[in-house]
C-alpha cells in the first residue's frame, strides 16, 4: 500500500510550522503508526533530509509518550488504542494521512510532532506524597480494601498520562487526567491521610496551567485507557469537600491561590450531602 503523509514540521515553539507532504510505499497493514514514521524517517535519512521528530518509548501502550493527532483524531481512528498500537490497516492504498502534534496551550511544540507535556508532571508533583509505613511489606489482611474500590482504583490507575484528553478538549482542560490521578488514590486507604490537601493542590495547579472543563466530554472518546467521565465527578466532589475541610480548619488555609479564598466564602460548599446541617455560618 502507498500512503501520502501530511506531516507537521516545526523547528521549535518559537518558529512557525508547516505541513510537508511525503509518499511512503510498501506499507503493510500490520505496520503501526510509529513504524510508519520509522519508514518515513529511514527514507528521509537515506535522501540526506532531516528526520521527523516524534515521541515514543515503550511502544506497547504503557508509557503514554506517543501521542499525536492522526487525521484530526487523538492517537488515530481505533478506539482505546494509543498511537504506538494503532495499525495502518484502517487506511487504503492512496489515502492521505495527516499527522500533527497535540494542539493545546499547555503543550508547547518542542519539535515537529513532539510537545512538552511537563505541565501534566507539575499537576502530579503538586499532589505531593502519601503517608504510609514503609520497610517490609505488610500482611495483606492488615489493610482490607473493598473489592469494588480496589477495582475502581485499578481502572483509574490505567491512565497513561498521554495528554490526549487535553488535546481533544476545546478548552484544553486536564480534568480527565487529574480526575483519574485523584480518584485512583482516593479509593485506597493509603490515599486518605493527605486526600484533601492533595486534591486542593492538584486542582490549583491544573487551573493555573490548563483551561477549565465545561462538560464537552470530548476527552472520553480520545482516551486510550477508557477513563470515564465519573472521575471528573469524583474530582469535583473531593475538591468541594477539600474546601469544606479547609473551612473547618482541618487543613491549613492556602493563601497563595486567591480564587480558593473566594470559594471558601461561597454558598455552594454547604450543599455537600455529607455536611448537611453543618457549618451554615462563617
CB of 233 to ligand SF4, least distance (A): 14
| String of DSSP letters for 166-192 | HHH-TT-B-HHHHHHHHHHHHTSGGGS
> Which span (30-38, 40-48, 157-165, 255-263) binds ligand SF4, by CB under 6 A?
157-165
CB of 215 to ligand SF4, least distance (A): 16
Q: Compute the distance between CA of residue 206 and CA of residue 177 in angstroms, rounded to an integer.
A: 10
Q: Where are the alpha helices (DSSP H) in the chain?
A: 33-46, 118-126, 147-156, 164-168, 175-186, 195-209, 219-222, 230-247, 258-264
CB of 54 to ligand FES, least distance (A): 10
Q: Which 17-56 positions form the footprint of ligand FES (CB under 6 A)?
A: 56
> Which span (47-55, 99-107, 216-224, 247-255) binds ligand SF4, by CB under 6 A?
216-224
Task: Verify binding: residue 160, ligand FES, rule CB under 6 A.
Answer: yes
Q: Which residue has the cell 502519601?
A: 130
Residue 186 binds what, of ligand SF4, ligand FES, none (CB under 5 to 8 Å, by partner type)?
A: none
Q: Which 30-89 positions form the footprint of ligand SF4 (CB under 6 A)?
A: none
Whether residue 226 contacts residue 158, with contact meaning beta carbons closer than 8 Å, is answered with yes
Q: Helix 118-126 to helix 195-209 angle, to the nearest 10 degrees?
A: 150
CB of 122 to ligand FES, least distance (A): 21
Total Cβ atoms within 10 A of residue 212: 12
Binding interface with ligand SF4 (CB under 6 A): 159-165, 176-177, 180, 222-225, 227
Which chain residues interact with ligand FES by CB under 6 A?
56-59, 61-66, 82, 84, 160
Amino acid at each position: 500500500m502507498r500512503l501520502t503523509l501530511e506531516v507537521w514540521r516545526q523547528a521549535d515553539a518559537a518558529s512557525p510550522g508547516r505541513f510537508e507532504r511525503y509518499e511512503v510505499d510498501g506499507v503493510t497493514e500490520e505496520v503501526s503508526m510509529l513504524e510508519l514514521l520509522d519508514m518515513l524517517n529511514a527514507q528521509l535519512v537515506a535522501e540526506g533530509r532531516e528526520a521527523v521528530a516524534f515521541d515514543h518509548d515503550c511502544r506497547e501502550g504503557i508509557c503514554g509518550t506517543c501521542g499525536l493527532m492522526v487525521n484530526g483524531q487523538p492517537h488515530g481512528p481505533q478506539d482505546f488504542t494509543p498511537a504506538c498500537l494503532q495499525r495502518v490497516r484502517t487506511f487504503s492504498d492512496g489515502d492521505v494521512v495527516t499527522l500533527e502534534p497535540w494542539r493545546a496551550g499547555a503543550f508547547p511544540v518542542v519539535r515537529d510532532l513532539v510537545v512538552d507535556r511537563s505541565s501534566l508532571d507539575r499537576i502530579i508533583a503538586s499532589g505531593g506524597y502519601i503517608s504510609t509505613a514503609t520497610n517490609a511489606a505488610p500482611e495483606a489482611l492488615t489493610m482490607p480494601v473493598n473489592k469494588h474500590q480496589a477495582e475502581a482504583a485499578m481502572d483509574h490507575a490505567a491512565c497513561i498520562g498521554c495528554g490526549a484528553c487535553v488535546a481533544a478538549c476545546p478548552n484544553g482542560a486536564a480534568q480527565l487526567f487529574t480526575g483519574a490521578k485523584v480518584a485512583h488514590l482516593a479509593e485506597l486507604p493509603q490515599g486518605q491521610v493527605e486526600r484533601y490537601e492533595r486534591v486542593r493542590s492538584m486542582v490549583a495547579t491544573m487551573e493555573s496551567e490548563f483551561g477549565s472543563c465545561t462538560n464537552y466530554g470530548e476527552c472520553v472518546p480520545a482516551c486510550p485507557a477508557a477513563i470515564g467521565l465519573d472521575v471528573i465527578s469524583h474530582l469535583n466532589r473531593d475538591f468541594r469537600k477539600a474546601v469544606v475541610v479547609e473551612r473547618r480548619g482541618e487543613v491549613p488555609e492556602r493563601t497563595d491561590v486567591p480564587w480558593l479564598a473566594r470559594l471558601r466564602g461561597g454558598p455552594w460548599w454547604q450543599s455537600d450531602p455529607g455536611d448537611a446541617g453543618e457549618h451554615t455560618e462563617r
